[in-house]
């Protein structure tokens, strides 16, 4: 069982290498093989949940392999309650990404499947890496397959611009983190996370290092004002690219905050808390208002993602158990809800080849099943009680209210604005009259799409009605993180 995590980590990449040997003409074999590999990875990752010990905050399923032993750097992996569900979210989403592209991706099919399988391995590595330098390596390596997915399988001419924007924004931010890692290495002589957890940095050094990490993570979250790449990337990416972007890649930044910035630099985290709060509130309110003005379906969901991630950063820097657990829960919930909404938009785009809201209306008359699915995910997006997002946002508000009621009051307006843009979007697309002069032939969801949506509905409602299943495994690790910090004294 100890090597289970290594197997999960390597399996998709090895599967990608196997696909390399399959001739390009065998597209059906490539599709079935790719889907099977990703599905087996998901099943294996479920075993992590089954055998995960909830009672300890220690890293589990730990594996270490010498990488650069003369530099005291090791390929060191393990998971705790914080990273467990991000592994599961990643392995859950990838098979659906492959299924979404089943018919719509017709060119470079083999490369598409290989890109996704390597991307999966890289993302999993980020979530379970316990070495700072290797975390950076995999954090950056995610850019390559994603750059190709947007640039090659994107939908329009602006895709190249969007791919470059995505690549450059995140790369420039991350260079500061590399410098910070070098500084940490030269001070402590190691990049082993477990050793770094018990190392102490002076306040001045913490401030410098925290800001360098922040420059990298803030771009990835994305926080305002470095969010511009996200709507562009979403609009130009294929549906599967948007799903993985919203579902997993945005979480890499917030995961970085909770795994590295907060425990390694606790005093600096307190020092910069008002900055994070200010950027988060602006993110929540500004992005929500911007969402109201958008006319492209994907941009609406993209900007609402910026608003939700603003909530997440608020929760993380509340630096208490409720806030951090709420943030982790909302990250997980957003992974399901936003991904499902992008799938809904993908269903419409596959049929009509447009994402402009003005062309749509009255879909409830001709696409009733689609309208039901879209309703459930829209309700999830506006944090309706009974859906997953409500639990996350409620816990975050509880956590933030304990530390700063002024900030919590502003953050709460985000929930109201979320309701406004979500209901208005649903109203414009689904209700009202049909617009036959724009679109006159309609087709409801087919069997493949129906079975893609069903697990997402199940997860959104399960997390909403019985969140304890997800909160309980993360509780010990979050409590340990809060106790570890020095902000409490």
Distance (Å, whole) CA 472 – CA 254: 20
Using CB under 8 A as the binding rule, the residues of this chain from 409 to 428 that contact another protein are 410
Q: Taking the complex as a whole, how short is the minimal distance between the CB of residue 154 and another protein, in angstroms? A: 12
Q: Which is nearer to another protein, 359 or 462 (CB)?
A: 359
Please name which of 195, 312, 292, 169 lies closest in space to residue 251, comparing C-alpha atoms.
Answer: 312
For the residues of 85-113, what is the DSSP string, one character each?
Answer: HHHHHHHHHHHHHHHHHHHH--SSHHHHH
Q: Which is nearer to another protein, 161 or 484 (CB)?
A: 161
* Total residues interacting with another protein, rule: CB under 8 A: 38
Q: Which is nearer to another protein, 365 or 475 (CB)?
A: 365
* Residue 446 within binding range of another protein, rule CB under 8 A: no
Distance (Å, whole) CA 472 – CA 479: 11
**Interacting residue with another protein among 102, 164, 271, 424 (CB under 8 A):** 271
Using CA atoms, how far residue 382 sits from 176, 243, 276, 376, in Å, is 35, 18, 23, 10
Distance (Å, whole) CA 435 – CA 430: 11
Q: Which token pair is 85?
A: 């569900």
Q: Which is nearer to another protein, 408 or 452 (CB)?
A: 408
**Interacting residue with another protein among 6, 72, 194, 404 (CB under 8 A):** 404
* Helix (H), strand (E) at residue 184: helix 159-188
Please name which of 113, 90, 88 lies closest in space to residue 100, comparing C-alpha atoms.
Answer: 113
Applying CB under 8 A, which part among 166-174, 238-246, 381-389, 398-406 lies near another protein? 398-406
Number of DSSP helices (H) and strands (E) in the chain, helices first: 23, 2
Q: Which token pair is 377?
A: 């995910």
Using CB under 8 A as the binding rule, the residues of this chain from 290 to 349 that contact another protein are 294-296
- Give strand ranges (E) for 69-175: 73-79
Using CB under 8 A as the binding rule, the residues of this chain from 154 to 193 that contact another protein are 155-156, 158
Q: Which is nearer to another protein, 351 or 475 (CB)?
A: 351
Distance (Å, whole) CA 214 – CA 197: 18
Using CB under 8 A as the binding rule, the residues of this chain from 355 to 374 that contact another protein are 356, 358-359
Neighbours of 458 (CB within 10 A): 11
Q: Which is nearer to another protein, 360 or 394 (CB)?
A: 360
**Interacting residue with another protein among 270, 292, 375, 457 (CB under 8 A):** 270
Q: Taking the complex as a whole, how short is the minimal distance between the CB of residue 317 and another protein, in angstroms? A: 11
Tell me if residue 356 falls in helix, strand or coil.
strand
Q: Taking the complex as a whole, how short is the minimal distance between the CB of residue 353 and another protein, in angstroms? A: 5
Interface residue list for another protein (CB under 8 A): 155-156, 158, 270-275, 277-279, 281-282, 286, 294-296, 351-354, 356, 358-359, 403-407, 410, 437-443
């Amino acid at each position: 069982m100890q090597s289970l995590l290594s197997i999960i980590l390597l399996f998709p990449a090895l599967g990608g290498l196997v696909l390399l040997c399959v001739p390009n003409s065998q597209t059906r074999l490539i599709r079935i093989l790719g889907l099977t590999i990703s599905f087996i990875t998901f099943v294996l990752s479920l075993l992590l949940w089954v055998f995960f010990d909830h009672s300890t905050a220690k890293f589990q399923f730990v594996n270490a392999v010498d990488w650069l032993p003369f530099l005291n750097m090791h390929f060191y992996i393990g998971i705790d309650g914080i990273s467990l569900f991000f592994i599961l979210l990643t392995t859950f989403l990838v098979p659906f990404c492959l299924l979404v592209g089943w018919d719509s991706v017709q060119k470079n099919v083999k490369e598409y499947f290989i890109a996704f399988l390597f991307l999966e391995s890289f993302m999993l590595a980020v979530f379970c890496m316990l070495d700072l330098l290797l975390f950076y390596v995999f954090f950056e390596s995610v850019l390559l397959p994603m750059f190709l997915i947007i640039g090659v399988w994107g939908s329009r001419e602006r895709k190249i611009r969007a791919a470059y924007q995505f690549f450059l924004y995140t790369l420039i931010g991350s260079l500061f983190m590399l410098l910070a890692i070098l500084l940490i290495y030269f001070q402590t002589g190691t990049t082993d996370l477990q050793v770094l957890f018990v190392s102490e940095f002076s306040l001045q050094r913490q401030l410098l290092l925290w800001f360098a990490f922040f420059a990298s993570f803030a771009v990835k979250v994305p926080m305002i004002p470095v969010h511009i790449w996200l709507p562009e990337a979403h609009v130009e990416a294929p549906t599967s690219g948007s799903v993985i972007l919203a579902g997993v890649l945005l979480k890499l930044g917030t995961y970085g905050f909770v795994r590295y910035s907060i425990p390694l630099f606790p005093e600096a985290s307190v020092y910069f808390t008002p900055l994070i709060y200010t950027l988060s509130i602006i993110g929540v309110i500004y992005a929500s208002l911007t969402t109201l003005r958008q006319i492209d379906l994907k941009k609406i969901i993209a900007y609402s993602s910026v608003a939700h991630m603003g909530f997440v950063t608020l929760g993380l820097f509340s630096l208490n158990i409720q806030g951090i657990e709420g943030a982790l829960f909302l990250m997980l919930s957003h992974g399901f809800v936003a991904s499902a909404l992008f799938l809904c938009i993908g269903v419409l785009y596959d049929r009509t080849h447009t994402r402009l809201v003005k062309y749509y209306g009255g879909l409830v008359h001709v696409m009733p099943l689609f309208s039901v699915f879209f309703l459930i995910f829209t309700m999830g997006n506006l944090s309706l009680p009974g859906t997953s997002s409500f639990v996350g946002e409620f816990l975050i508000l509880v956590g933030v209210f304990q530390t700063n009621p002024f900030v919590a009051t502003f953050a709460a307006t985000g929930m109201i604005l979320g309701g406004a843009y979500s209901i208005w979007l649903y109203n414009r697309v689904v209700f009202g009259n049909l617009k036959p002069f724009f679109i006159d032939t309609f087709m409801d969801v087919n069997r493949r799409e129906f079975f893609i949506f069903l697990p997402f509905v199940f997860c959104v409602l399960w997390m909403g009605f019985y969140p304890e299943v997800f909160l309980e495994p993360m509780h010990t690790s979050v409590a340990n993180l809060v106790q570890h910090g020095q902000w409490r004294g």
